[in-house]
Amino acid sequence: MAAGKNLVMAGEDRVVAGEDLVRAGEGAVVGGEEKGRKNINDVPSSLESVECYRKEHGTTGELAAAALSAIMLEHALRRINNACMVIDRALLPAVKLAVINQAKTNEVGYIGGKDAYTFTGDLEGLVTSLFLKLVPI
């Protein structure tokens, strides 16, 4: 893999080939010698990632954080879907029930970059609209 084309993710023991990408939330940043980063512990904070994205794209901090959250979510869902395709078919029902379905609910729990478990008003509104409000037919 060429330098500068690696994505080093904090908390993971792997390097994924792909375009240079800065991600917030997981503390993930671009790896490579030209960036001056030599190991996984040398990563900037999520706040620095948001500030970098904001400057590059000329947007506000809230929009930058939302965009980085969307990128992070998309890549997480891609990893989950890829894991479904390479897993042993005999284990798939158990893994799907225990891991994949739970992982896919993260989008609901972290709507718009807010933690719905901390700010329960957002989660309460979602549950009410999904399960308690009548749907016109």
User: Looking at the whole model, is its pTM more than 0.75?
Assistant: no
**CA 96 to the chain's CA centroid:** 19
Residue in the block written with tokens 């190991």: 39
* CA end-to-end span of the chain: 55
Place of tokens 């609910």: 105
pLDDT digit string, tens, across residues 43-89: 556 778 888 889 998 998 888 888 888 888 888 888 877 877 777 77
Residues 6 or more apart whose Cβ sits within 8 Å of residue 10: 26, 27, 28, 40, 43
Q: Where do we find the tokens 């506000």?
A: 60
Task: For residue range 81-136, list pLDDT tens digits in order.
Answer: 787 777 777 777 777 666 666 666 666 666 666 666 676 776 777 677 767 777 66
